[in-house]
Amino acid sequence: MSGKRPIYLLSRVDKPDSNKIETYLADGGYERARKVITSMEPAAVIEEVKASGLRGRGGAGFPTGLKWSFMPKEPAPGKPHFLAVNADESEPGTCKDRVLMERDPHLLLEGILISSFAIRASRAFIFIRGEYTFAARVLEEAIAEAEKKGFLGRKVFGTDYSLEVMVHRGAGAYICGEETGLMESLEGKRGHPRPKPPFPAGYGLWGYPTTVNNVETICNVPFIMEKGSDWFRSMGTEKSPGNVLFSVSGCVERPRVLERPLGTRVSELIEDCGGVWKGRKLKAFVPGGSSTGFLPAGMADLALDHDSVQKAGTMLGCGSLIVLDDHSSIVTAARILAEFYEDESCGQCSQCREGSGWVVKILRRIEEGRGRTGDLELLESLCEGAMGKTICPFPIAWGTPVLTALKNFRDEFEEAIRSGGAAAERETLEGAR
Ligand SMILES: Cc1cc2nc3c(=O)[nH]c(=O)nc-3n(C[C@H](O)[C@H](O)[C@H](O)COP(=O)(O)O)c2cc1C
């Protein structure tokens, strides 16, 4: 607990040996999973999570209990159910799942146990970002510890329920965080997203019913089962209950991961990170990870919950606040993000493959003082021509930063075209990269 702000997700991360099963057990660890698996029906677990109003922390904010209820009630003969834990965490500005995996891996495993039991999964795969070598090792050690105690593997807690958990390391492609790209990659193929429908609950990994959930989403589950849905709803807002991990980066004095209730204001998060760095002023911020776009300083009062951010014209995403000070160039910032997305387009859909490259070319020429009349309209038409028209939502990820930059900072682009380029400090977004 910290003052008036109850924290639970990060409550163990600063303890010595927080990754070890002994310390987890000393804190009452695995008792929630034991209680659920030895005394509850899976449907009752789903109902409790539904009642809590927990929404996915991976980006889309989809209600978790509702997603679980799409799985078949019982596995059909020869058709196992799977849980895929999304630990890809590749959105620029995002580093919160890493803290949970490195510092409290047994919390994630306990959450996986309860979640897998609820959807009748016999196997759970943790698909982890390739660069997270340390977190992968910590998780593997934690799985071995839990198996030794009989908490994972065959006949969990002496019941008829069995669950195998394995860690699968990605190969460094952002698109494998998209749930169907993730499943393709786990199956050993190129991470090319699949068209939806069919949705994973009907046709997932190797064609079997699968639920994909983010690491932080799953880490909320043991607390909901322990303290109940009313407790969970006592934090956050009515439609976005609970606490969330905000990764705060960019031009702040102390970039860090903070646990706060959903609905916390941007200005408050910046203040809790020591304010805008070097005594400078806030110019803009990205509310929820690089794909959620640039909002102006005048909106720093924005409450970070799903509905408020949607009303402001974008998405809460994965709660990654990127701060830009008044020395930053939005043209440069937009170009940096566009380069990332061009690099990461899987190339399957032409609008995305070609569009993301053209956006980079145009932003680069504006930045370098070679911008032309009509470039801003061209940028808009490239983004609008790709967003919502491809197999997966990737163009929304690269289109939103460009469109919001043009909407909220158009004069800066016009000035760069008129007067020979963007006056940029290269430190723009350095904290987020
Ligand atoms: C391009 C793209 C990248 C994504 N990357 C991630 C990621 O790294 N981690 C994550 O949990 N979800 C990511 N998502 C969202 C997943 O597709 C999916 O919605 C999420 O894992 C579902 O879990 P949740 O319901 O618990 O949020 C990404 C989506 C898109 C379109």
DSSP per-residue codes, 205-250: GGGS-EEEEEHHHHHHHHHHHHH-HHHHHTSB-SSSBSEEEEEEEE
Which pLDDT band, with edges at 50, 70 and 90, does 3 fall under?
very low
Q: How far is ligand 1, taken at its centre, from the CA of residue 127, in Å?
A: 11
Q: Whose CA is nearest to atom 12 of ligand 1?
A: 58
CATH class of domain segment(s) 330-432:
mainly alpha
Residue 162's CB is within 10 A of a number of other CB atoms, namely 12
Which pLDDT band, with edges at 50, 70 and 90, does 395 fall under?
very high
User: Is pLDDT above 50 for 432?
Assistant: no
Percent of the chain, pLDDT > 90? Answer: 95
Render pLDDT for 202-213 as a digit per residue (tens, 0 to 9).
999 999 999 999
User: Is pLDDT above 90 for 74?
Assistant: yes
Which pLDDT band, with edges at 50, 70 and 90, does 423 fall under?
low
Could you tell me which residues come within 8 angstroms of residue 40 by beta carbon, excluding any fewer than 6 positions away? none
Question: Which runs of consecutive H residues, i.e. helices, occur in 53-171?
Answer: 64-69, 96-103, 105-118, 133-148
Tell the CATH topology of 21-233: Rossmann fold (3.40.50)
Tell the CATH topology of 247-325: Ubiquitin-like (UB roll) (3.10.20)
Cα angle vertex 14, ends 8, 16, to 5°? 125
Which pLDDT band, with edges at 50, 70 and 90, does 422 fall under?
confident
Pocket test for ligand 1, best of 57, 85, 86 (most atoms within 8 A of CB): 86
For the chain, the structural domain boundaries read: 21-233, 247-325, 330-432
According to the model, what pLDDT value does residue 23 have?
98
According to the model, what pLDDT value does residue 28 have?
97
Which pLDDT band, with edges at 50, 70 and 90, does 12 fall under?
very high
CB 19 within 8 A of CB 105: yes
According to the model, what pLDDT value does residue 4 have?
62
Q: How far is ligand 1, taken at its centre, from the CA of residue 22, in Å?
A: 32
Q: How far is ligand 1, taken at its centre, from the CA of residue 42, in Å?
A: 25
Q: Whose CA is nearest to atom 10 of ligand 1?
A: 58
User: Is pLDDT above 90 for 2?
Assistant: no
Pocket test for ligand 1, best of 131, 212, 218, 348 (most atoms within 8 A of CB): 212
Which pLDDT band, with edges at 50, 70 and 90, does 50 fall under?
very high
Q: How far is ligand 1, taken at its centre, from the CA of residue 180, in Å?
A: 9
Percent of the chain, pLDDT > 70? Answer: 97
The ligand 1 atom at the shortest distance from the C-alpha of residue 86 is: 11
Q: How far is ligand 1, taken at its centre, from the CA of residue 89, in Å?
A: 8
Q: What integer is the mean pLDDT of 107-114?
A: 98
Pocket test for ligand 1, best of 131, 179, 391 (most atoms within 8 A of CB): 179
Q: Which residues line ligand 1 (CB under 6 A)?
A: 56-60, 62, 86, 88-91, 175, 177-179, 212-214, 217, 392-394, 397
Q: How far is ligand 1, taken at its centre, from the CA of residue 289, in Å?
A: 12
Pocket test for ligand 1, best of 90, 97, 185, 214 (most atoms within 8 A of CB): 214
User: Is pLDDT above 60 for 428?
Assistant: no
Which pLDDT band, with edges at 50, 70 and 90, does 433 fall under?
very low
How high is the mean pLDDT of the chain? 95
Pairing type for strands 256-261 and 264-265 reads unpaired
User: Is pLDDT above 50 for 49?
Assistant: yes
Q: What integer is the mean pLDDT of 239-251?
A: 98
Q: How far is ligand 1, taken at its centre, from the CA of residue 177, in Å?
A: 5
Q: Could you tell me the CA-to-CA distances from 48 to 51, 56, 366 in Å, in that order?
A: 5, 15, 53
